[in-house]
Amino acid sequence: MAMAVAHHRESSSSGSIDKHLDSGKYVRYTAEQVEALERVYAECPKPSSLRRQQLIRECPILSNIEPKQIKVWFQNRRCREKQRKEASRLQTVNRKLTAMNKLLMEENDRLQKQVSQLVCENGYMRQQLQTTSAATTDASCDSVVTTPQHSMRDANNPAGLLTIAEETLTEFLSKATGTAVDWVQMPGMKPGPDSVGIFAISQSCSGVAARACGLVSLEPTKIAEILKDRPSWFRECRSLEVFTMFPAGNGGTIELVYTQTYAPTTLAPARDFWTLRYTTSLENGSLVVCERSLSGSGSGPNAAAAAQFVRAEMLPSGYLIRPCEGGGSIIHIVDHLNLEAWSVPEVLRPLYESSKVVAQKMTIAALRYIRQIAQETSGEVVYGLGRQPAVLRTFSQRLSRGFNDAVNGFNDDGWTVLNCDDAEDVIIAVNSTKNLSGTSNPASSLTFLGGILCAKASMLLQNVPPAVLVRFLREHRSEWADFNVDAYAAASPKAGSYAYPGMRPTRFTGSQIIMPLGHTIEHEEMLEVIRLEGHSLAQEDAFASRDIHLLQICSGIDENAVGACSELIFAPIDEMFPDDAPLVPSGFRIIPLDSKPGDKKDATTSNRTLDLTSGLEVGPATTQGAGDASSSQNTRSVLTIAFQFPFDSNLQDNVAVMARQYVRSVISSVQRVAMAISPGMNPNVGSKLSPGSPEALTLAHWICQSYSYYLGSDLLRSDSLVGDSMLKSLWHHQDAILCCSLKSLPVFIFANQAGLDMLETTLVALQDITLDKIFDESGRKALCADFAKLMQQGYAYLPAGICMSTMGRHVSYEQAIAWKVLAAEDNTVHCLAFSFINWSFV
């Protein structure tokens, strides 16, 4: 029996004591009662569960305890569980902060050494300037920021390789934790509590170099295993093959590695590396993986396999991984390359001479990937459609790899260029041996009767922000894509459905639904499914659905990222979305080029470079001298387009003509977009009504002001009508509030969170939804009947009805209010607003 006692709270094998919150007394429970209560709590932790009440009634040992006392016990039990979780979380955070503090102290020590070295160099230079009679210079304070000379040891025997490996280790450590390279902070990557790590790039050294260090909650051996598998995280790595591996005698291993990388554009050849990779442990328990090139272009594997590549040099680089107390690791990453920029067109050389590009593509990507794996392992990442993170990550890698294969068109993959001369702007290549397989299972592979045809081109863009352009291409697909071509590409992978040239005419309804699947930890890349709604125009199947589904990755839409490329890559996919679905990717890649004073704008550098904006009229703001390359209006980037089409062997010529014309039409569309979003021409194009944009703040003010004007009451509480709080209150309003344009076919331009939930869409896809699509027949009749009243008196009440979400689900609402939204400046009607009250899915 439960009894009241006046003792402090305690726990023992004989029972427990809990303080009654109402009476202030303490209640003692027997061990059997505590065990019974724990069983009930384990099965039903939620306090409002009817199942919990049933279990309590069915347990005789709990029958003599008052319900209020049982409630108190469960409250205390929840509090104890929260306290344990919070204590565990704080311990984890404390361990991370301790490790990060250690990392920052080491970074501070390195910077102090670098300052001392610079002071020494400064004093040395002053001495040289004052002593003009000296014939030789004192090298005692010479900068160590020079590229170490390659060892002349014999690389053909294990002893010679071990000597090279030890030299590589020493030189790598001097870069990772020493002052062998003059590191400066990566622009736009300030360290902080939310940062992935600390990033730096080389300021003056041979080649291009980048460095990163950070804390990762994985063990050193796991991190080394991930990083050594370079194709899994480095999107431009085509292949990595270990030709020889043998023990180093000190517990380490030496490997001879041949690596091929993709070229990011069609304008320059790809790179390959022939390197020695050394894996070993240090005396302090750290794990090191370091790597360097063995020799020049004359060595390596079969020369025929490397004929399409330019041999690049990897200077001592690698990974230093140190275990932390309590779990996790501190990792230092160094990438130091010589990409042989002399071998590419002059317009592209900034791309091969930029340490920022190397940092974004390799160094930062490696650290982000490890952090992503760590979060997935800990269960912190949740993806949509019930897919495992590894499956979605594989889809992203396959899309990127398929696009890179198309852009590069390697001969050993079966690609052959058709009728390409110097005057041809669009390159047509054919692969007759292409086999698309999502897995190693031959049953899931798909071999086309004719093969795959690719139409591709690269071009130079001026004064076009890559992030803005990719965002526009993603959000407004109907502005550049042909739905019938999408339909052909989507139908071709299905057996026996080669429809060209007799494709059935299909009408695109304008509805583009974006369904997110997942994203990386910093949202720099998104994986999503796109549904394009279409209907056949043929009489016999007018009611048949012609919807198209695309699997798509989008990256680089953050305008503040430095040196990052922007990509939009997509491939048709079956609506069932199988894990081993064959993919034929197409898309866009835009890479910014660093502007350099004195750069020549030579449009004839490459015959395959199209300057889309050179023929456009330039406004007064852009009529400055051509030599002013430091201006923000003088930015350049390279856009690469590649579209792939499966074809039957007897339709190759027809598909080639269609593909060339289609890519040229896309180029023309990009030209229009480039003119629209180029700074100084129309800065408002490309902006969207996101919850934090100035346009959304203005529209929220107009919506609330017009509501009060016409209906005589406030839409929001009076304390929410100031500044940003108005938009926040409107955004989180319980009623679904939507705004549509006043066009002949009204489309939605804004919705609050409830409105997006009701329509089951996103702000991006909202602007492709027309007003008539959300109402059923009776709803459209009611709207038409009250439309004249709405335009005359400024508002109208619509009766209860049913509307449709973009996913086809029915939504009921008790009442809808429509009113005109007036622009404050000139009191003209800007749009129509709708408020759906007490809506719910049927």
Residue written as tokens 């140190």? 322
pLDDT of residue 643: 96
pLDDT tens profile 614-633: 333 333 333 333 333 333 45
CA 47 remoteness from chain centre: 40
The highest-confidence range among 30-34, 629-633, 808-812, 837-841, by mean pLDDT, is 837-841
pLDDT at residue 604 tops 60? no
Instruction: Please state the rounded mean pLDDT for residues 50-54.
Output: 68
CA dist 286 → 170, 220, 279, 321, 324 (Å)? 14, 8, 11, 6, 10
Q: Is 356 exposed, middle or buried (0-12, 13-18, 19+ CB in 10 A)?
A: buried
pLDDT tens profile 223-276: 999 999 999 999 999 999 998 888 887 788 999 999 999 999 999 999 999 999
pLDDT tens profile 159-177: 788 899 999 999 999 999 8
Q: Is 529 helix (H, G, I), strand (E, B) or coil?
A: strand
pLDDT at residue 539 tops 60? no
Distance CA(91)–CA(94), nearest Å, equals 5
Question: Is the N-terminal amide bond of 501 cis, ω within 30° of 0?
Answer: yes
pLDDT of residue 631: 39
Distance CA(146)–CA(148), nearest Å, equals 6
pLDDT tens profile 21-30: 444 456 677 7
pLDDT of residue 137: 40
Domain 391-436+448-491+508-534+547-595+634-677 has CATH 3.30.530: yes
CA 116 remoteness from chain centre: 40
Distance CA(592)–CA(300), nearest Å, equals 33
99 vs 615, which has greater pLDDT? 99
Contacts of 662 (CB under 8 A, 6+ apart): 455, 482, 485, 643
What the block records as the tokens of 210 is 């980048």
For residue 662, what pLDDT band results from cuts at 50, 70 and 90?
very high
CA terminus-to-terminus distance, the chain: 50
The pTM of the full predicted model, rounded to 2 decimals, is: 0.65
pLDDT tens profile 402-454: 999 999 999 988 999 986 655 568 999 999 876 554 444 444 445 556 789 99
271 vs 727, which has greater pLDDT? 271
Strand pairing partners for 331?
Answer: 214, 321
pLDDT at residue 7 tops 70? no
What the block records as the tokens of 224 is 């080394």
pLDDT of residue 261: 95
Contacts of 659 (CB under 8 A, 6+ apart): 428, 453, 454, 455, 643, 645
Region of 172 on the Ramachandran plot (φ > 0 left; ψ -120 to 50 alpha; else beta): alpha
For residue 562, what pLDDT band results from cuts at 50, 70 and 90?
low
Lowest pLDDT segment from 273-287, 307-321, 576-590: 576-590
Distance CA(684)–CA(695), nearest Å, equals 10
pLDDT at residue 77 tops 50? yes
DSSP character string of 245-303: EEE-SSS-EEEEEEEEE--SSSSS-EEEEEEEEEEEE-TTS-EEEEEEE-SSTT-SS-T
For residue 114, what pLDDT band results from cuts at 50, 70 and 90?
low
pLDDT of residue 189: 64
pLDDT at residue 496 tops 60? no
The highest-confidence range among 187-196, 590-599, 663-672, 695-704, by mean pLDDT, is 663-672
CA 39 remoteness from chain centre: 44
Q: Which CATH architecture fits 694-841?
A: 2-Layer Sandwich (3.30)
pLDDT tens profile 341-361: 998 988 899 999 999 999 999
CA 406 remoteness from chain centre: 21
pLDDT tens profile 173-182: 999 988 888 8
For residue 281, what pLDDT band results from cuts at 50, 70 and 90?
very high
Average pLDDT, the chain: 77
Q: Do residues 197 and 365 make contact, with C-beta atoms less than 8 angstroms apart?
A: no
Q: Which CATH architecture fits 158-381?
A: 2-Layer Sandwich (3.30)
pLDDT at residue 339 tops 90? yes
CA dist 83 → 73, 77, 88, 221 (Å)? 15, 10, 8, 33
pLDDT of residue 596: 43
pLDDT of residue 182: 87
For residue 133, what pLDDT band results from cuts at 50, 70 and 90?
very low
pLDDT tens profile 363-395: 999 999 999 898 888 776 666 556 678 888 899
721 vs 553, which has greater pLDDT? 553
* Cα torsion angle, 665, 667, 670, 674, sign: negative
Q: Where are the domains of the chain?
A: 38-120, 158-381, 391-436+448-491+508-534+547-595+634-677, 694-841
**Residue 93, H or E segment:** helix 67-130
pLDDT at residue 9 tops 90? no
Instruction: Please state the rounded mean pLDDT for residues 481-499.
Output: 69
Distance CA(586)–CA(644), nearest Å, equals 6
pLDDT at residue 576 tops 70? yes
Instruction: Work out the number of other CB atoms within 10 angstroms of the CB of residue 759.
Output: 26
Strand pairing partners for 322?
Answer: 330
Instruction: Please state the rounded mean pLDDT for residues 758-777.
Output: 80
Instruction: Please state the rounded mean pLDDT for residues 640-669.
Output: 90
Instruction: Please state the rounded mean pLDDT for residues 323-350.
Output: 90
pLDDT at residue 693 tops 80? no
* 158-381 and 391-436+448-491+508-534+547-595+634-677 agree in CATH topology: yes
Radius of gyration of the chain (CA): 32
CA dist 571 → 234, 262, 433, 441, 497 (Å)? 21, 20, 19, 21, 17
CA dist 7 → 22, 24, 35, 182, 768 (Å)? 17, 11, 21, 67, 68
503 vs 820, which has greater pLDDT? 820
* Cα torsion angle, 203, 207, 212, 213, sign: negative
Instruction: Please state the rounded mean pLDDT for residues 215-220.
Output: 90
491 vs 336, which has greater pLDDT? 336
Residue type, 825: E
